[in-house]
Amino acid sequence: MNQHQDRPSGLTKLSYDAFVWLYRLRLGFLFAGHVFVMAHHGRQSGKRYLSGLERLVRSEGELFVFSSRGRRADWLRNTEAGGVDELWDGRTRYDGAEFRVLEPDEANDILTRYEQEQPRYAKRNLPRMMAGYDFTDEMRRELAETGTVVAFRPG
């Protein structure tokens, strides 16, 4: 049942674009740590891009996000090719960030924490990450195995 979403469009794309513009206006603190912005360069064009990413959890200095398009997501492909130029989290801007793609066991732990620490957001977002998501251990494990969770450590 690996039914992850395609490229964001419509209202979803508009909302992430709005996050980027609000960060540019130095209003990132309004998101209470739920959304951050990452600057990266296109792997082919070299053009600078800003991507709004919704945080699952924060732990030991790392910000964890889920890529609904897996490794096909342009922001992740660009990041893997050229790294992170800047990361904006609330009122703070960092020059670069280390990143890593989690293995399924750690991804499962992060998804479990997300459900526990952010139940309102999890209830809204996890079914968007995987069609038919029903909050069972089996479904969470499947999402962790087929999905892509990425950790960013601001520099």
Please tell me the total number of residues recorded for the chain in this structure.
155
pTM for this predicted structure: 0.85
- Give, in degrees to the nearest 5, the angle at Cα 142 between 58 and 128: 65
Q: How confident is the model at residue 15 (pLDDT cuts 50, 70, 90)?
A: low
Q: How confident is the model at residue 32 (pLDDT cuts 50, 70, 90)?
A: low
81-107 tens-digit pLDDT: 999 999 999 889 999 999 999 999 999
Higher pLDDT, 38 or 13: 38
pLDDT at 143 over 90: yes
Q: What is the DSSP string of 21-33?
A: HHHHTT-GGGGTT
Percent of the chain with pLDDT over 90: 67
Q: pLDDT value at position 2?
A: 43
Domains of the chain by residue range: 10-154
Best CA proximity match to 33, nearest among 62, 4, 70, 6: 62
Q: What tokens does 93 get?
A: 């801007």
Q: pLDDT value at position 4?
A: 46
- 3 state DSSP class of 95: strand
Q: pLDDT value at position 12?
A: 52
Domain 10-154 fold: Pnp Oxidase; Chain A (2.30.110)
Q: What tokens does 84 get?
A: 């992170």
From residue 74, alpha-carbon distances to 41, 44, 109 in Å are 10, 11, 25
Q: pLDDT value at position 24?
A: 77
For residue 73, what is the DSSP state?
-
Query: Would you tell me how many other CB atoms lie within 10 Å of the CB of residue 58?
Result: 16
71-83 tens-digit pLDDT: 999 999 999 999 9
CB 76 within 8 A of CB 152: no
